[in-house]
Structure formats: C-alpha cells, structure tokens
Structure 1
Amino acid sequence: MYMFNAITHSQIYVLDQDEALDFYVGKLGLEVNADVDMGFMRWLTVSIPGHPERQILLEKPGGPMMSEETAQQVRELVTKGAMGGGLFLSTDDCRKTYETLLGLGVEFTDEPTERPYGIDCGLRDPFGNSIRFAQLKS
C-alpha cells in the first residue's frame, strides 16, 4: 500500500505574480486554476489546459512563514537562477513550440537539441526560473 497517490501541486518562486501570469498564461499558454487573496498571501496556481490535477503554485517569497530577511535572500537567488529545480514540460513538437515562443519574445537558454530521450530545449522565466520542454520519444 502506498501512502500517497498523486502529486497535485509544485511550487516555484516568482517576484511579481501579475508578470508571472502574463508569462505563464499569456506566453506559455497555461491556464489559471486558482487566484485567491488569502490575506497573508495570494494563492495563484496554473496548469496545462485541461489538466488541473497537477498545478504549479506561482508563489511570491515572503508571508508569515518567512522573515523579510530570508524573503530578500530568496528573491536574490531567484533572480540569479540559483533556486535549482524548475519545470520540465512536454510537447508534441519541440521545434514548432520553440518557434512559436520565440515569436512571442521568450528568451531561450538552449535551442532544440536531440537527446537520448527526445528533443528538448531550455528557457528561463522573467524571474530566472529554469524551464525545459521536450518532445519525448515514444
């Protein structure tokens, strides 16, 4: 018997949630699942359209669980692209997705490249978070 049956949310830090919406929804084509003012924070999640079972929390550093000093350190690390992790998405056509996003002004760190698992490329969001997407081999 397993204790858990799904991963429902992953979190990444963003410095401006409205700018994050513009990028993740306006450019990457994700959809908003929740945008709730909880008083102490804005709970903002996005997901692949039609797949709300796996959401990404676009969280602004700070709030009651983090001192302002720590929040400032996290903001600096996000800006440097040093928060590790990031997102890995899949697509049916890596090169076409790359060209579409390039046309929308998305800046890439890696062009589409053949890998043992498929074709992938990399970019960063406006805050420095690493994002990769791949056309996976069947």
Structure 2
Amino acid sequence: MLNAITITSMYVLDQDAALDFYVGKLGFEVKVDQQFGPMRFLTVALPGDPDHAVLLELPAPPSISADVAEQVRDVVTKGAGGGHLFLRTDDAHKTHAELRERGVDLPEEPVVQPYGIDFGLRDPFGNSVRVAQMTPPPSA
C-alpha cells in the first residue's frame, strides 16, 4: 500500500530563478539537478528532510504539449497555477524577519490563527507559500 509522498511538483517559469528563490532565499537545498533528455529534473528540499522534495518544473514538453505549456505559463504568471507549499516553523516572527532580511517580498505580517501563527507570500512565479508556527494540540 502507499505510505509516503516523496516529490510534489510546482510549475516555475525559470528554473535558475527558482533556485535563487527557494535555495538562496528560503533556505532549501538542491536534491537533484539532472538533465533528462530535453528536460531538467530539478528538486529541492528543506535541510534535514530526506523524505520530501519539490520538483521545480518548467511547463514545457515533454511533460505537456507546447500549446498547453503556453496556457499553463499564462495561468502561472497570474498566480493561479495551483502551486502551493505549506511550511512549518518553530518561530513565525523570527522566520518572517529572517526572510525579510534575505530580500523576500512579504506582503503579510504573521497573524494569530486558531491553529497557530502564520503568514503567506508568493514565489517569483505566483505560487503560494504559507509558513506556520503550529499551536501544540491540547493534551488529552
């Protein structure tokens, strides 16, 4: 039976710009950067998390047709490409300040929610990234 999600995919419009953002600003690490024929297979992951990676995928052949790729690029540019990452932190305020120092555009301040403290941002391509400091569940 299935027991893990190992790679999830997000469309990006420029893989080098995606590396600059995800590795250079958010602190991810490159897991795989390999050329497979006409496509570059590029995955990143958070340090210390060997089980989960994000494929930074260009909307292009051979995974989709050239016609569909153009439509996907248009939708991604509008922030409606469906790419979402939900990240956890131990200190939302500290992480927010560190990301701001690294030059990340942060349109939201950390906000107290019923589940913890969180804030959101978008990557350079319009994909949504949410960062949350989770409140421990009440003890039984």
Measured against the shorter chain, the TM-score band is over 0.9
Q: TM-score, normalised by structure 2?
A: 0.94
- Superposition deviation, residue 110 in structure 1: 2.1
Q: Which moved more, 1:120-129 or 1:105-114?
A: 105-114
Alpha-carbon contact 2:108-2:119 (below 8 Å) kept: yes
1:105 is aligned to: 103
**1:9 alignment partner, one of 3, 7, 10:** 7
Q: Give, as a single letter, the amino acid of the residue that structure 2 aligns with 1:75.
A: R
Q: What is the percent sequence identity of the aligned residues?
A: 59
- Which structure 1 segments of 5+ residues have no match? none
Q: TM-score, normalised by structure 1?
A: 0.95
2:133 is aligned to: 135
2:62 is aligned to: 64
Q: Give, as a single letter, the amino acid of the residue that structure 2 aligns with 1:128.
A: G
What is the DSSP-based 3-state SS (H/G/I as helix, E as strand, rest coil) of the residue aligned with 1:25? helix
What is the DSSP-based 3-state SS (H/G/I as helix, E as strand, rest coil) of the residue aligned with 2:109? strand
C-alpha RMSD over aligned residues: 0.9
How many residue pairs match? The answer is 136
- Which structure 2 segments of 5+ residues have no match? none
Alignment partners' CA distance in 1, 2:34 and 2:24: 19
- Superposition deviation, residue 109 in structure 1: 3.3
* Matches for 1:1-138 after TM superposition, within 5 Å: 3-138=1-136
Alignment partners' CA distance in 2, 1:115 and 1:19: 32
Alignment partners' CA distance in 2, 1:57 and 1:136: 25
What is the DSSP-based 3-state SS (H/G/I as helix, E as strand, rest coil) of the residue aligned with 1:110? coil
Q: Give, as a single letter, the amino acid of the residue that structure 2 aligns with 1:94.
A: A
